[in-house]
Structures are given as C-alpha cells and as structure tokens.
Structure 1
Amino acid sequence: MAEEEERRQEIEEVDCKTNDTTDMTFCMTNYHKGVLKMMSMMRTHHMLTDVKLIVSSETFEAHKLMLAAASPYFKAMFTGGLKESQCSEVTLHGICPSIMNRLLSFIYTGQIHITELAVCQILPAASMLQITDVIKACCIFLERQLSPVNALGIASFAEQHGCLELHKKANEFIMQHFAEVCQEEEFVQLSTKQLIDLIRKDELNVREETEVYNAVLRWVKYNEEERRPKMHAVLSAVRCQFLTPSFLNEQMKNCEVIKQLPACREYLAQIFRELTLHKRMSVRERIPKTPRVIYVAGGYLRSSLDTLEAFNLDTQKWTKLASLTIPRSGLGAAFVKGIFLRYWRKKQQPWM
C-alpha cells in the first residue's frame, strides 16, 4: 500500500478541469530525474555514446544529443555543418580534465560541486561552452564569497568573463566597504587607471575624504619609485576640497611624498587658499548608497523607556537594537561621521 501511495504522489494530474474520466493528462514528476539518471549510467558504461572528447591527455565518452541539449557551443558544433559534426572524436583546448569532468557530470545530472579553488576554472570553462546554469551557479557562489579581501579581484574576474550582474554586485560591495577594501593587498595592486576610476565614484562610502586621501598615499608608498610620478593624476581624483585646511596644511609640511612633488604641493596649496577664503566649491560631495534609516530612542509610557529601534525606509522594516543604558525621554539625537549620538538635559520624572 505504501508503495502504491508513493507511486500516486509521483504522478500529478495535469488536466483536471472536467469530470471526464475517459480523457485525462498526467505529468510524471520524477520522469526527468529518472531519464537523467539513466543517461548518466549509460555514459558511465559507454552505452550508445557517439563522441569522444579529448581533453589534454584524457578522453571522455558522451552522447552528442546530451551535449547539444545542454550547451549552445556543442549544439553549433554538432548541428551547424562543421567538420566536428561528422567526427567521433573532438579535441577541446583551454579546459583541464578535472573541470571537464565536472561539467559533463552537470550535463548528465544537473548538479555541480563548486569550491573556492575550482570556481576560477569552472566559470571560464562554462563560459566557453556556454553552459548558462553553471555560469549562474558560479556567480552566486562568488557573490556569497565577497569580502574586503577579494572584492576587487571578483569584480575584475566578473568583468573579464562578461558576468554583468556579479560585476555590479562586486562594485556595490567595494563602494559600500571602501574603508576595509583599501586596507587589503588587492587595493595596492590596482593599476593607476583602476585606482582613479574607483576613487572618482560618487557612491564611495567614506566618513571623510581623508580616508580616500590616505588610501591613495598607501597605494603610492607601496611602490613609491614607480608611482610617485603618477601621484598628481591620482590626487586630482581625490575630492581634496572636502579636506580640512588644517589637514591640508599638515600634509604640505610633513608628508614626504607631497614634499618631493612640487606640482602636488602647489595643487594642495591652491585648495588650501580657496578654503580659507571660503570660495564656492567646484566639486560635489559624495553620495554613498547607504541605507536610509530612522532611529527612535527612548520615549515615555507611564515612565521613561530604554528602547532603541531603527526603521529602514528602503525595506520598510523595524529592527530592535541594544537597549539604552538608562531609560530616557525627551531625547535629542544626531548621526555624525558614522556615529549615532543621543543627548538629553536631564532624566525625565514620571507624570503626576
């Protein structure tokens, strides 16, 4: 009985609009899995295979029909009138055998195992063979791996292989976490053009422009002899008009890199003069895409409250934060340079 019930669950009645018991349509929910499993078994045992894929020193037997169904690359090869359509052996270049084995396994099972070490080989191979689902899986994997340590590398990798959505996500991560990204090895390995393109972005999430300035100095000092001549071009991409006069003055007097570059020193001196004369700025402030949040602190309900909550305007969701150390009502608050400040005149007394 249990076996019969299981079989019934595997059969879904598709056409049930009428009560006609003499005309029905059924869909076998596990049919596709069963066919794929059988095809995989047949490949393993070299049953009805009609093509051999030569990858380096290894040979993989497969079915042209399966390859063509899963990959536009193979479909064009076997149906487009190319000489390979008549061949029983096809040599593939630019793919290592272990990665080809994983891709063939996916074609026959719909499953693929991705690791940090293998993803950098799987994605280019899947792109070459145009196996879209594997490309998507690799992009999802890399998106979940994003961190300040690897975000720049993932963005470059995604751009190289035409993964536009992953490239967008990686760049958004870089913008949002610039303060951490600029401390990593990948940052100092950027080319001059890559660095300028990055620090010119309006969306760069920094509390102060000094973070961008100091990041540029770190980049120059990593290879000062070679990069010192490029400092002026890079410095022009920093929004130095938002540096304070005291900071600019300190840099002109004490920064060894600036002291050795008269053009850079004069550039900062000009900005210093403009700031002290309160001239109108010719550059606009950065506008990072940070969450829009309303904070609600304290309050009064028969007595002062210790609650602290945040409302995200973009997601329309409330979040309960750590309670105030002392219940307060009549609070004032400000958000300054990434720090939430709350203040009050005195502790509120219960209403009489």
Structure 2
Amino acid sequence: MAHSSLVFNELRLKEELCDAVIRVQNEDFHIHRVILSGYSEYFRSLFTRWSHPTDRVYEILQVSPDIMRVIIEFAYVGSEEVNHQNVEELYIACDFFKVTGLMDACLRFMGEHLSKENCIDIWQLTETFICPTLNSDAFHFIVQHFTEVCASSEFLKLSVQQLLKLIETDQLLAKDERTVFEAILRWIDHSPEERTTYISRILPNIRLALMTPDYFMKKVRNNKMVMCNIECQDTVKTAETLLNDGIVSSLGIYHPLARPRLPSSILFAIGGWIRNDIAVATNVIEAYDICTDRWVYVTDTQDAPRSNQGAVFLNGSLYCVGGHDGVEPLSSVQRFDLTTHTWHQVAPMKTQRCCVSITVLNGRIYAIGGYDIQSRLSTAECYDPETDQWMEIAPMHERRSQVSCTTFQGKVYICGGYSGKEYLSSAEYYSPETNHWTLIAPMSTSRCGLGVVAFEEQIYAVGGNSGGTRLTSAEAYNPRTNCWHRVTSMQSPRSNFGIEVVDGRLFVIGGFNGFTNISKVESYDVNTGEWSEVRRMGIPRSGLSCCVVSGLTNMADYAAPRDSCLSHTYLDLPV
C-alpha cells in the first residue's frame, strides 16, 4: 500500500482536511472529494457537475451505510471487503457508482463461489447488469447441477422465459426427463393461477419420448393440467407415437421430443495399433456419447501416431503420455486443450515408457512401469502441471509392462502385467503420503494387458493375456478385506484394451482377441452382474488408451450431433 494512501486514510479517519460529507441514512462519512473522484465516475460528476461548488454534504439514497463504507475504504486503501452476505448488493452499488475496480472484485468473488444455493441469483443478476462471462458460467453451473438446483427455493423464482431457456438446452444434466417434468410441476404449483397457462409452452421442451412408457402414460398423459390443454394434447400424441413406434432408437433422436440431452461425461478412445501383422499406429481419437450410443470421430491432428500410451483427463485437458510410435518407446507428453482443440507439448518424462500405466491422483499424473526397449520397468514418476515438471517416486516391488492402474481412496493400485520373464498375478498400491508401495493379495489369475479400474468401492481386473490365451474372465478386489473374488466374465476375450467407468457402468473398449484387433465394446452393470455389447468403435484397434472427460462447457463439440447433420458420426456401424 502506498504511503500516501495510508496518510489520506488516516486523515479521513481523523476527519482532518476533509472537504465533503457523504450522508447515508443519517450516518456521515467524512471524505476528500479528490480521492472518491479518482475511483468513481459517479462521484467525479457529482462533485464537479451535478452540485454547487459550495456544497459540502451529499445525501446518498441508493445504498446502505455498510455498503458505502466498503466503497469508501476501497477508494482509500484498496480494501476489497467482499463476502457472501454483501457481494450482490455491493456489485449493484458499484455498478451504479461506477467503481469499476471493486465491481471486478465482486465478479471474481461470485465466479469463484458459485454454488447450488446462489447460482440462480447470480444468473439473474448478471442478466440484468450484462456480465456475459459470469452469466454464462452461472447458466452452465445451473444446467450441470439441475437435479439439486431445481429442488431449491430459488428455482421457484425463475421467470417462464428463464425456465424455458434452461429446459430447452441440450446441456441440461438430469438423471432422466422425469426429473425435468417433476421440476416443472413444482414450479407451476408455486403460483398455479399465473403459471398453469404456461404448460403448453413448456411441455414441448421436455424430451417426453425419452421417458419410460409407463411413467409417460401415468404421469404425463393423464396429468389433469395436460389433459385440459388442447395444445398439450397434440404434443402428447406425438410423443406417444414416437414411443410406440420405437423411432427413438434410430433417426428419431433428431425429433425435439426424442432428442437426447448432452452426456455429463464422454469416453475418449485414443491411438493404438491398427494392424496385426506389422506395427502401424494411429493418431485417431473417437468419442463415445452414451446418451445416443454413438461414436464420434474427433481428430487425427495429434503430432504423431502412437500406441500403448497412457491417457488421462486433468484440468480441462487430455494428456497423452509415452507410448510407442512404431519405431521406439516415447518419453514425450502431449496435452490436448479440449476448449481450443489444440495440442501442446509439455515436459517429457524422465524415462521412455511404452505399455505404461497412467492415472491421476490429487491433481498430479502418475506414470508407472512400462518398457524402455531394453527392459521392463519398476520405476515410476509423477507430473505436476503447475510446474510442468516430472519427479521420480519410489519404484514398485515388481517390474511391470502391459499393465493397468487406478486410484481409490487416495492410493494408486496396479495389478498384473509382464515382468520380462513371467505373466504376473501380483498387485500393489502406492501411497503418496509415505512414497511407499505395499503388496496386496495377488489376483487368482496371471494377467498381462489387462484392464484395471476402481468401480463401486472395489478394484476390478478384467481380461488380459495369461500366456498366449486372451481372457474373458474378471475379478474384483475388496480393499477392506484384502480379498479377490470372481465376477461375471466378458462376452469377448481381449487384451491391451481400454477400460473406463461412464455413467455408473464399466466399459471395455477394443483390444486384441488373440487373432485380430477388435472394435467391440461391452459394458458391465454391477446391479445385474451382466455384460452387454454397445455400439462398436469406427476403427478396430489394440494398444489404445481411454479416458473420460467431464465438466466441459463445449461438450457438444465431442458428442454426437443432435440435429440431422450426420458428419463425423459413425451411425451405420452395427452393434
């Protein structure tokens, strides 16, 4: 803080050399006109153009004394006394008085503290005062947390125009359209005399044909408010036709009443080997949209094709780590910015690693094991994106390549792999707090090229190669009991495939079945204990890497088109 600021503030507090008084609700603030004029266009005009030079007392009616005190202290000493209680009132006052510096501080505070309790207030405030960036952020927060937000009292304050803007967007995340419909009924019941008439405008924006037939018939078609509205009946008949004809599963997804909303998460499949006979890698990325059961071609502009790399999602970017380019193992790391669609080189690993295992824990990327062309590795390292540096960590007990790892309850679990001499059944976990690896109970089966993922409070080890035989079997580890148990086997044998959890289901993607690379994809439902095939990838491949991205404001860039434009989407592939 400049010495002169301290001096002026001390004079203000002592009411010395002050040449004006700001009076707010009978509370007087002695000030120096030149100080406030330097921070506020309003006060500069008030003192120089809107009043007489002999005026000394200026009564302000627009704010409370507490808010005026914060504005004055900001002008004198730069103090930003912004909190949850005063931020909205303070922002409105700063906009009125043109105190831009403090207004910016209010916007920053609101953006950093968006919550389910205040997001609607902030959205409405930034619409009125035209703050496009924060308004967009607040809107995105609402639609991303719609299930919780629609249960709040603030939701009931929305205007019909604001409500329509929310429910018509594909970005709205709700467990199902039943949630949306019931939120609408709650909003109407808050003021039925005024809002009942809006039902004909609202209903066409609910994806009625995505509801279960039973719920649609009992809760929507037979709703008294809907039955009494002729326009609603036309909408209901159209939805009923879509449901009865089964059009939703094909091109019916482009009908407004059957159009799937954007998924909360998208599965990426990256790179891999596309030839069985020679080492030919690809740089193609495909994205799986679970809401439409479709794969989308994303990009092939990565610097170079690679396979057997690791891929993770961190801080809005996709990282591709290590791997093999068809000539040699790689230490390079590339970051794909999912907002700008651009690739960037970041710091390389300390060691070349193909067939490496990658995961994220506490904001850092861990690269474990792999193959450096001379030997299988027990070494591991971690990457800090803030410093763009890799750091070696403690080595594992075993050398492991063609292995997979996952994180669970603050630890990194790694299972199986190939040591250079044998296929492994051993497993261990790493604790960042102690920089130490601990062996756990071994799997029942030796597995190389397996998939490992944390799912439903357990560690799943799926498929792989047991020494020439590709496996369909799977087992799960309970960290509380240190025991493995068998779970339902996959339908197709595979090794060197991708594995991820999306929307509460476990997915296995591609791989090698012992004869050829495959594009087959299966998902596992833990509630039924059953595997089922879903839409295949566009390209059969093994040695691919997969990761799940979420929370993007531009999720539509990576999802299947919601209109009739079919470009970049593999719609004709069989299940």
* TM bucket normalised to smaller: 0.7 to 0.9
Pair 219,82 (structure 1): closer, same or farther in 2 beyond 3 Å: closer
* Aligned equivalent of 1:327: 461
Residue 137 in 1 paired to residue 105 in 2? yes
Pair 181,84 (structure 1): closer, same or farther in 2 beyond 3 Å: farther
- Alignment map for 1:131-280 (pairs within 5 Å): 131-252=99-220, 255-261=223-229, 263-278=231-246, 280=252
Return the alpha-carbon distance in structure 2 between the equivalents of residues 141 and 286 of structure 1.
34
The structure in which a higher percent of residues are strand is 2
Deviation at 1:310, TM superposition (A): 4.2
* Aligned equivalent of 2:77: 109
Please report the TM-score for the alignment, with normalisation by the length of structure 2: 0.47
Which amino acid in structure 2 is aligned with residue 39 of structure 1?
A: F
Deviation at 1:312, TM superposition (A): 4.7
Return the alpha-carbon distance in structure 2 between the equivalents of residues 73 and 188 of structure 1.
36
Aligned residues: 302
Please report the TM-score for the alignment, with normalisation by the length of structure 1: 0.74
Deviation at 1:126, TM superposition (A): 1.3
| 8 A contact 2:21–2:31 mirrored in 1 | yes
Pair 46,333 (structure 1): closer, same or farther in 2 beyond 3 Å: same
CA deviation profile, 1:157-197 (whole Å, cap 9, x unmatched): 22223333322211110121112111111112322222112
* Aligned equivalent of 1:311: 313
Which amino acid in structure 1 is aligned with residue 114 of structure 2?
A: L
For structure 2, which runs of at least 5 residues remain unmatched after alignment?
A: 271-309, 320-358, 362-406, 414-453, 465-496, 508-522, 525-529, 532-575
Return the alpha-carbon distance in structure 2 between the equivalents of residues 43 and 126 of structure 1.
21
Which amino acid in structure 2 is aligned with residue 210 of structure 1?
A: R
* Aligned equivalent of 2:259: 285
Secondary structure at the residue paired with 2:461? coil
Deviation at 1:52, TM superposition (A): 1.7
* Aligned equivalent of 2:563: none
Which amino acid in structure 2 is aligned with residue 340 of structure 1?
A: R
Residue 40 in 1 paired to residue 9 in 2? yes
| 8 A contact 2:20–2:32 mirrored in 1 | yes
* Aligned equivalent of 2:60: 92
Pair 252,170 (structure 1): closer, same or farther in 2 beyond 3 Å: closer
| 8 A contact 2:269–2:498 mirrored in 1 | no
Deviation at 1:34, TM superposition (A): 1.0
The structure in which a higher percent of residues are helix is 1
Secondary structure at the residue paired with 2:22? strand
For structure 1, which runs of at least 5 residues remain unmatched after alignment?
A: 1-31, 297-307, 347-352
Secondary structure at the residue paired with 1:180? helix
Return the alpha-carbon distance in structure 2 between the equivalents of residues 141 and 211 of structure 1.
31
Return the alpha-carbon distance in structure 1 between the equivalents of residues 263 and 215 of structure 2.
27
Deviation at 1:121, TM superposition (A): 2.3
| 8 A contact 1:77–1:85 mirrored in 2 | no
Deviation at 1:67, TM superposition (A): 0.9
Identity %: 24
